[in-house]
Structure 1
Amino acid sequence: LASRPGFDPNLFASGIKKKDWQAIALDKLHPLQNRAIQGAYPPGSTFKILLALKALDLGIINEHTTFHCGGGFAYGNRVFKCWKKGGHGTVSVHRAIVESCDVFFYNVGLKLGVDRIHEIGDILGMGRLTGIDLPGEQKGLIPSTEWKRRRYNQPWYEGETVSVAIGQGAVWLTPIHLVMLSSFVANDGKNFKPQVVNRIVSTEGKVIKTFEPIVNADLKLKPGVLKLVKDGMRGVVNEPGGTAGASKVQNVLMSGKTGTAQAGSQSVGLADHAWFIAYAPSEDASVAMSILVEHGLHGSSAAAPIAKGITETLFKVKPDIKEAKVNENR
């Protein structure tokens, strides 16, 4: 886990000075906040992976299902835009993940409905406390019709589902929630509880306690569902037109999903948040990642390169110094 900006913990070792404490406590960038577990943000297009899993599992869509994207989606008296102004044309779920087509997932979201989106999110521990062994975790939110009725005494409108379908509107998740989503795909439907401590060892080197992996859920999705989603996430990084193609790693296949999320009404005038969730290697993954760059604008240009750097370091890959064109939209 890493959260920036941070602070020097040595300042607290022998009692922090008043001026040092004030500098940290009054810092507008909030260095005391552990954003990995305490920062709840709209997940943007990373959320499309959740919708794809549920819709494919229910048979609402399959690998041959297509929707046409002309750059916008008319619903009621509003046109919901796709990030690509000219549209993606006719796309399947594979290309919709690879190119992050909003219109495809607007359609999928309406066919699913918000309660079924909430259902799979809840199964995966998203929108509630994960139970990670750190204090101060935020639970986030994946909405439902019941949630809105209790909170506002109002009905849920399908137009709201359109926004939720691409990770906007009333959906807020932490980076730890989204690394669980990435891990779920990489681990073939197993949802692991996030844990910080692997084992406790005495000063003499004796193992006092070992913390075994805890599987919260082992979701048996319909055959072929995970393969379709995995193929899409691999294509995001490794296929032409993939939104994270500029972050392709030499000699190691990395899979991922970019996201760009509006910062919300309290951040008027500030750039969008940049997301990237990933795992590597694409086959038999040993690491899952969730990268958030606050106000980083685009997941493809701000967050995905960080995941690339982490992967290169972990797998001792010599960095590729050649420049690649970045998709500066998603």
Structure 2
Amino acid sequence: MPLRRLRQHPRRHRGGAARLPGRCQGERRMTPFSYERPEELDQALKLAGPHARFIAGGTNLVDLMKENVERPERLIDITALPLHGVLVGEDGGLRIGALVSNADLAWHPRVQSHFPLLAEALLAGASPQLRNMATVGGNLLQRTRCQYFYDVATPCNKREPGSGCPARVGLNRNHAILGASEHCVATHPSDMCVALAALEAKVHVAGPGGTRVIAFADFHRLPGDEPQRDNLLAADELITEVELPPSPFARHSAYLKIRDRASYAFALVSVAAALRVEQGTVAEARIALGGVAHKPWRLPDAEAALVGRPCTPAAFRVAADLLLQGAEGLGRNTFKVELARRAVVRALADAAKGGPRA
């Protein structure tokens, strides 16, 4: 590029936001921020706080910053931390570092052979380019794609508690049919998390007070009267790894994602189905739904109803009905109730016969 053209570009200052001469008052600009890249976990945790954000792939956070939904004063780049490994335990389980990319995890030989449900879910998400950048830890922390959340000109209880939830009576085709509240009807966007919920993963977390392990079922939360809180992670805590227990579901699992287009779209409804089948009868079952609630949706009673029953559409419909108890549409998304019911039956049937492989 000629030098004269370079001189016409906006001058950059610390934090990446551009200073443009003659900028109109009120025009949206990215909030200035500082940038740190620690090489040790302790260093990263000392930099953390309510006005800081950890960043790795940045596939969601950068978008939020561009829209001024997130305005951190400090970015802590954690890509130099030693959290990139996938370790196979003696029991056959996995310990997955928070910085492992979605692509690397999806094509890891152990994941392909022993946790194909996870591989299928990962490969159903986003695009190849995004999967190369996105990380396991970041995937867990994705925020909703509700258009009202992203539009800072509209009210949103998740963005500004107490301002209202226009999605309840507005554009809600992609919104929740389960577990919603009067304050928020947003859905969690992840595919990977739906599979992790079915596989009963555990989330390892580090903070100034030490480390702790959170069951995946407890990590994300329903909106209740605090829709601004997506999960149980404190502002100064960092996900370090995800633990997968040994899985008996490698032979009978399936991930089904229903979306408006086959490429790069979030789920209207997704299902992670996993079965342990003995002589044509269900010995153990796991079912998790995505695209329908503020978190991956599981109901142990629905899974228990399958145990001891043959792998038939009738048995699968009973489980689907139980799983969708209390499901309620908002008008534009009411179709998702029946869509989810049929998706559960189909995913269980795919799992019973061996399911499509990644």
What is the TM-score when the length of structure 1 is the normalising length? 0.26
**Larger helix proportion, structure 1 or 2?**
1
What is the TM-score when the length of structure 2 is the normalising length? 0.25
